[in-house]
Amino acid sequence: MPELPEVEITRRGIEPFVLGRTITGVAVRNPNLRWRVPRNLARLVVGEQVQRVARRGKYLLLECASGCLILHLGMSGSLRVIDPRIPALAHDHVDLLFGETALRLRDPRRFGALLWQRGDVHRHRLLAGLGVEPLSEDFSGDYLYAATRKRQSGIKQLLMNANVVVGVGNIYANESLFRAGIHPRRRAGRLTRAQCERLVQSVREILRAALAAGGSSLRDFVHSDGASGYFQQSYCVYDRAGQPCRVCGSAIRVARLGARSSFFCAGCQK
């Protein structure tokens, strides 16, 4: 699934093409995404001008005068800036038209979303309960320490809990825990304040490095111009089971935690 770096890179990529532009049309080829695309989407958005292109967690927000388009890339989605005359392929489900330019949502597994919210978008049920942004000042060692108290779950599961902190999915949780030297199974409530400070710093460093590298291009993710990211070349643990640790040389291990694969080095992470 595209995580915070991939969604932020998409936001930056589409912003110059849609900010201040008016939506001139909508083409919905398959409305059956994770949540059905509104039947009257064209009536709702055609004529609206995009006033701001924002991101909240893994959600892209195209804010207009009377409401906001909420986009989610799901497990396999990408959002491309494209000439609308280019024929759509099998998984190209929706085009948002801006005159001679279109945003084309491609989503092979159809776990993405395209929704409309009138008024304050942050009251939408998908956004209202979200936690802090990991690159904001609100995500601090003190915040994480307070959030982990009396938690029985492993720290990796808590780090991926969007009600605590948003946008940190499986890839970057694995990499951040490795950098912080913390085992993914470590009970969250047993982390010390110093470990929480170190983990917060590691999350920030990993996310910033991923942004600088254009994100991770695994399976379907590409930038809005079709280019690929290359942070996957820098992974220390993710998807490297059996390979030597880049620090101590021990074999990277993999285990199932919360129905997700967790990669770690037993020598470096305690």
Write a three-state SS string for 153-221: CEHHHHHCCCCCECCCCHHHHHHHHHHHCCCCCCEHHHCCHHHHHHHHHHHHHHHHHHHHCCCCCCCCC
Mark whether 270 is an active-site residue. no
Question: Is residue 113 packed enough to be buried (19+ CB in 10 Å), middle (13-18) or exposed (0-12)?
Answer: buried
Q: How far is CA 210 from the centre of its chain?
A: 12
Mark whether 137 is an active-site residue. no
Nearest to 254 by CA among 239, 235, 269: 239
Q: Specify the DSSP class assigned to residue 226.
A: S
Phi, psi of 121, deg, nearest 5: -65, -25
| Single-letter amino acid, residue 10 | T
Mark whether 150 is an active-site residue. no
Selected catalytic residue, list 56, 58, 179, 198: 58
Selected catalytic residue, list 3, 6, 48, 175: 3
Mark whether 3 is an active-site residue. yes
Selected catalytic residue, list 34, 110, 246, 260: 260
Question: Is residue 13 packed enough to be buried (19+ CB in 10 Å), middle (13-18) or exposed (0-12)?
Answer: buried
The catalytic residues are 2-3, 58, 260
